[in-house]
Chain A
Amino acid sequence: DAKTTQPNSMESNEEEPVHLPCNHSTISGTDYIHWYRQLPSQGPEYVIHGLTSNVNNRMASLAIAEDRKSSTLILHRATLRDAAVYYCILRGQTGANNLFFGTGTRLTVIP
Protein backbone atom coordinates (compact mmCIF):
# COMPACT_ATOMS: atom_id res chain seq x y z
CA ASP A 1 0.00 0.00 0.00
CA ALA A 2 1.14 3.51 -0.75
CA LYS A 3 2.53 5.45 2.19
CA THR A 4 1.30 8.70 3.74
CA THR A 5 3.24 11.42 5.56
CA GLN A 6 1.68 13.62 8.23
CA PRO A 7 3.09 16.08 10.77
CA ASN A 8 3.47 14.54 14.21
CA SER A 9 1.50 17.25 15.96
CA MET A 10 -0.48 20.44 15.42
CA GLU A 11 -2.20 22.98 17.64
CA SER A 12 -5.30 25.03 17.08
CA ASN A 13 -7.28 27.54 19.05
CA GLU A 14 -10.82 26.63 19.90
CA GLU A 15 -13.43 27.75 17.37
CA GLU A 16 -10.84 28.38 14.67
CA PRO A 17 -10.46 26.32 11.49
CA VAL A 18 -7.85 23.57 11.38
CA HIS A 19 -6.13 22.27 8.27
CA LEU A 20 -4.47 18.88 8.71
CA PRO A 21 -2.15 18.03 5.80
CA CYS A 22 -1.26 14.64 4.36
CA ASN A 23 1.23 13.83 1.63
CA HIS A 24 0.80 10.70 -0.46
CA SER A 25 3.05 11.16 -3.47
CA THR A 26 2.96 7.45 -4.46
CA ILE A 27 -0.82 7.19 -4.49
CA SER A 28 -2.22 5.02 -7.28
CA GLY A 29 -5.13 5.99 -9.46
CA THR A 30 -7.56 3.71 -7.65
CA ASP A 31 -6.57 4.52 -4.07
CA TYR A 32 -9.20 6.20 -1.91
CA ILE A 33 -8.02 8.70 0.70
CA HIS A 34 -9.49 7.97 4.12
CA TRP A 35 -9.28 9.87 7.38
CA TYR A 36 -9.88 8.37 10.80
CA ARG A 37 -9.42 9.93 14.19
CA GLN A 38 -8.78 8.45 17.61
CA LEU A 39 -10.08 10.33 20.61
CA PRO A 40 -8.32 9.76 23.94
CA SER A 41 -9.01 6.30 25.39
CA GLN A 42 -11.17 5.27 22.43
CA GLY A 43 -10.88 3.23 19.27
CA PRO A 44 -10.46 5.03 15.95
CA GLU A 45 -13.53 6.38 14.19
CA TYR A 46 -14.13 7.13 10.53
CA VAL A 47 -14.13 10.80 9.57
CA ILE A 48 -14.31 11.13 5.81
CA HIS A 49 -13.02 9.70 2.55
CA GLY A 50 -12.61 10.76 -1.07
CA LEU A 51 -11.16 9.74 -4.42
CA THR A 52 -10.68 12.82 -6.59
CA SER A 53 -13.21 15.49 -5.70
CA ASN A 54 -13.42 17.51 -2.51
CA VAL A 55 -15.87 16.07 0.00
CA ASN A 56 -17.92 17.49 2.83
CA ASN A 57 -19.79 15.79 5.63
CA ARG A 58 -21.07 16.76 9.05
CA MET A 59 -17.70 16.15 10.68
CA ALA A 60 -15.22 17.70 8.27
CA SER A 61 -14.22 18.56 4.72
CA LEU A 62 -11.59 16.85 2.62
CA ALA A 63 -9.68 18.83 0.03
CA ILE A 64 -7.77 16.73 -2.50
CA ALA A 65 -5.03 18.21 -4.65
CA GLU A 66 -5.54 18.05 -8.39
CA ASP A 67 -2.62 15.63 -8.80
CA ARG A 68 -3.88 13.64 -5.76
CA LYS A 69 -0.42 13.64 -4.20
CA SER A 70 -1.65 15.46 -1.13
CA SER A 71 -4.85 16.14 0.75
CA THR A 72 -6.05 18.26 3.63
CA LEU A 73 -8.60 17.47 6.29
CA ILE A 74 -10.43 20.62 7.32
CA LEU A 75 -12.22 21.06 10.63
CA HIS A 76 -14.18 24.26 10.19
CA ARG A 77 -14.43 25.21 13.86
CA ALA A 78 -12.26 23.22 16.21
CA THR A 79 -13.80 22.28 19.53
CA LEU A 80 -12.15 20.73 22.56
CA ARG A 81 -13.79 17.46 21.57
CA ASP A 82 -11.79 17.46 18.32
CA ALA A 83 -8.54 16.91 20.21
CA ALA A 84 -7.41 13.54 18.88
CA VAL A 85 -4.89 11.76 16.70
CA TYR A 86 -5.88 12.04 13.04
CA TYR A 87 -4.82 9.32 10.60
CA CYS A 88 -4.63 9.71 6.82
CA ILE A 89 -4.87 6.29 5.15
CA LEU A 90 -4.90 5.13 1.53
CA ARG A 91 -7.25 2.31 0.59
CA GLY A 92 -6.92 0.31 -2.60
CA GLN A 93 -9.76 -1.34 -4.46
CA THR A 94 -8.10 -4.73 -4.73
CA GLY A 95 -6.72 -7.19 -2.25
CA ALA A 96 -7.76 -7.21 1.36
CA ASN A 97 -8.50 -3.49 1.47
CA ASN A 98 -7.29 -3.31 5.04
CA LEU A 99 -6.43 -0.12 6.90
CA PHE A 100 -2.75 0.60 7.45
CA PHE A 101 -2.34 3.17 10.20
CA GLY A 102 0.74 5.35 10.46
CA THR A 103 1.46 7.46 13.54
CA GLY A 104 -0.96 10.22 12.53
CA THR A 105 -1.13 13.85 13.64
CA ARG A 106 -1.90 14.64 17.26
CA LEU A 107 -4.18 17.69 17.31
CA THR A 108 -4.24 19.81 20.45
CA VAL A 109 -7.08 22.30 20.78
CA ILE A 110 -6.34 25.27 23.00
CA PRO A 111 -9.28 26.80 24.88
Chain B
Amino acid sequence: DADVTQTPRNRITKTGKRIMLECSQTKGHDRMYWYRQDPGLGLRLIYYSFDVKDINKGEISDGYSVSRQAQAKFSLSLESAIPNQTALYFCATSDLNRWIAGGPNEQFFGPGTRLTVL
Protein backbone atom coordinates (compact mmCIF):
# COMPACT_ATOMS: atom_id res chain seq x y z
CA ASP B 1 0.00 0.00 0.00
CA ALA B 2 1.16 3.52 -0.80
CA ASP B 3 2.43 5.60 2.10
CA VAL B 4 0.87 8.83 0.80
CA THR B 5 -2.52 8.58 -0.88
CA GLN B 6 -4.62 11.21 -2.57
CA THR B 7 -8.30 11.16 -3.44
CA PRO B 8 -9.69 11.63 -5.95
CA ARG B 9 -7.02 10.92 -8.57
CA ASN B 10 -8.95 12.77 -11.24
CA ARG B 11 -11.74 15.32 -10.96
CA ILE B 12 -13.60 17.43 -13.47
CA THR B 13 -15.77 20.19 -12.06
CA LYS B 14 -17.44 23.42 -13.08
CA THR B 15 -16.63 27.01 -12.27
CA GLY B 16 -18.02 28.07 -8.90
CA LYS B 17 -18.20 24.60 -7.37
CA ARG B 18 -16.62 23.76 -4.04
CA ILE B 19 -14.01 21.03 -4.29
CA MET B 20 -12.09 19.14 -1.64
CA LEU B 21 -8.95 17.15 -2.31
CA GLU B 22 -7.88 14.74 0.39
CA CYS B 23 -4.49 13.42 1.44
CA SER B 24 -3.75 10.64 3.87
CA GLN B 25 -0.41 9.25 5.03
CA THR B 26 0.70 6.19 6.94
CA LYS B 27 4.32 7.30 7.42
CA GLY B 28 3.69 8.89 10.82
CA HIS B 29 5.16 12.17 9.64
CA ASP B 30 4.21 15.42 11.30
CA ARG B 31 4.70 17.75 8.36
CA MET B 32 2.34 17.83 5.37
CA TYR B 33 2.27 19.99 2.26
CA TRP B 34 0.08 20.82 -0.72
CA TYR B 35 1.64 21.79 -4.06
CA ARG B 36 0.24 22.50 -7.50
CA GLN B 37 1.95 21.87 -10.80
CA ASP B 38 1.04 23.54 -14.05
CA PRO B 39 2.10 22.13 -17.44
CA GLY B 40 5.82 22.59 -18.09
CA LEU B 41 6.40 24.17 -14.71
CA GLY B 42 7.82 23.04 -11.41
CA LEU B 43 5.76 22.59 -8.27
CA ARG B 44 4.56 25.59 -6.26
CA LEU B 45 3.68 25.41 -2.59
CA ILE B 46 0.09 26.23 -1.63
CA TYR B 47 -0.08 25.46 2.10
CA TYR B 48 1.93 23.52 4.63
CA SER B 49 1.31 22.22 8.13
CA PHE B 50 3.90 21.26 10.72
CA ASP B 51 1.34 19.67 13.05
CA VAL B 52 -2.42 19.61 13.53
CA LYS B 53 -2.40 23.05 15.17
CA ASP B 54 -0.03 24.68 12.72
CA ILE B 55 -1.14 25.83 9.26
CA ASN B 56 0.93 28.13 7.06
CA LYS B 57 0.39 29.79 3.72
CA GLY B 58 2.77 28.97 0.92
CA GLU B 59 3.67 30.76 -2.25
CA ILE B 60 0.19 30.68 -3.86
CA SER B 61 -2.51 30.28 -1.19
CA ASP B 62 -5.13 32.68 -2.61
CA GLY B 63 -8.32 30.82 -3.56
CA TYR B 64 -7.43 27.80 -1.42
CA SER B 65 -7.97 26.70 2.16
CA VAL B 66 -6.78 23.66 4.10
CA SER B 67 -7.74 21.55 7.07
CA ARG B 68 -5.48 19.29 9.11
CA GLN B 69 -8.04 16.94 10.61
CA ALA B 70 -5.47 14.65 12.17
CA GLN B 71 -1.76 14.04 11.94
CA ALA B 72 -2.38 11.67 9.05
CA LYS B 73 -4.90 13.76 7.08
CA PHE B 74 -4.54 17.08 5.27
CA SER B 75 -7.29 18.36 2.98
CA LEU B 76 -7.17 21.10 0.38
CA SER B 77 -10.34 23.00 -0.52
CA LEU B 78 -11.23 25.23 -3.42
CA GLU B 79 -14.21 27.21 -2.11
CA SER B 80 -15.28 28.41 -5.54
CA ALA B 81 -13.27 26.76 -8.29
CA ILE B 82 -12.13 28.78 -11.31
CA PRO B 83 -10.57 27.57 -14.58
CA ASN B 84 -7.05 28.80 -13.78
CA GLN B 85 -7.02 26.37 -10.85
CA THR B 86 -6.89 23.56 -13.39
CA ALA B 87 -3.65 21.80 -12.48
CA LEU B 88 -2.02 18.72 -11.02
CA TYR B 89 -2.09 18.79 -7.21
CA PHE B 90 0.40 16.94 -5.03
CA CYS B 91 0.41 16.24 -1.34
CA ALA B 92 3.69 15.56 0.44
CA THR B 93 4.90 14.65 3.92
CA SER B 94 8.16 14.93 5.83
CA ASP B 95 9.54 14.03 9.22
CA LEU B 96 10.50 16.87 11.58
CA ASN B 97 12.60 14.57 13.74
CA ARG B 98 14.66 13.51 10.76
CA TRP B 99 15.42 17.17 10.06
CA ILE B 100 16.42 17.88 13.62
CA ALA B 101 18.78 14.93 13.46
CA GLY B 102 20.58 16.61 10.55
CA GLY B 103 18.83 14.68 7.85
CA PRO B 104 17.64 16.17 4.59
CA ASN B 105 13.99 16.57 5.55
CA GLU B 106 13.19 14.47 2.55
CA GLN B 107 9.65 14.97 1.32
CA PHE B 108 7.53 12.03 0.19
CA PHE B 109 4.94 12.78 -2.46
CA GLY B 110 1.59 11.28 -3.27
CA PRO B 111 0.56 10.25 -6.78
CA GLY B 112 -1.22 13.51 -7.52
CA THR B 113 -4.77 14.64 -8.28
CA ARG B 114 -5.53 15.96 -11.73
CA LEU B 115 -8.17 18.68 -11.39
CA THR B 116 -9.95 20.25 -14.34
CA VAL B 117 -12.22 23.25 -13.82
CA LEU B 118 -14.49 23.97 -16.77
Q: List residues of chain A with CB under 8 Å of any chain B CB.
A: 32, 34, 36, 41-46, 49, 87, 91, 96-104
**Which residues on the A side are within 8 Å of B74 (C-beta)?**
none
Partner of A98, one of B4, B58, B108, B112: B58
Cross-chain contact A98 with B40 (CB below 8 angstroms): no
25 contacts between A and B (CB under 8 A): A34-B104, A41-B112, A42-B109, A43-B90, A43-B109, A43-B112, A44-B107, A44-B109, A45-B109, A46-B104, A46-B106, A49-B104, A49-B106, A96-B56, A97-B105, A98-B58, A99-B43, A100-B45, A100-B59, A101-B35, A101-B42, A101-B43, A103-B41, A103-B42, A104-B42
Are the CB atoms of B104 and A32 closer together than 8 Å? yes
The 10 A-B residue pairs with the shortest CB-CB distance, nearest first, are: A43-B109, A101-B42, A49-B104, A101-B43, A46-B106, A43-B90, A102-B42, A103-B42, A44-B109, A43-B112
The chain B residues found within 8 Å of chain A, CB to CB, are: 4, 33, 35, 40-45, 48, 56, 58-59, 90, 92, 99, 104-112
Residue of B nearest to A99 (CB): B107
A43, A44, A99, most chain B CB atoms within 10 A:
A43
What would 7 more interface pairs be, CB under 8 Å, given A44-B90, A45-B109, A101-B42?
A43-B109, A44-B107, A44-B109, A46-B108, A98-B33, A103-B42, A104-B42
Alpha-carbon gap, A64 to B109, bound state (A): 26
In the assembled complex, the Cα of A56 lies from the Cα of B106 at a distance in Å of: 16
- Residues from chain A with Cβ under 8 Å of B104 in the complex: 32, 34, 46, 49, 91
- CB contact between A96 and one of B44, B48, B106, B109 (< 8 Å): that residue: B48
A44 & B105 in contact (Cβ 8 Å cutoff):
no
Chain B contacts for A87, CB-based, 8 A: 42
Minimum Cβ distance to chain B for residue A96 (Å): 7
In the complex, what distance in Å separates the CA atom of A102 from the CA atom of B105?
18
**Chain B residues with CB below 8 A from A34, complex form:** 104
Inter-chain contact B48/A98, CB cutoff 8 Å: yes
From A43, A96, A102, give the contact of B92 (CB < 8 A): A43
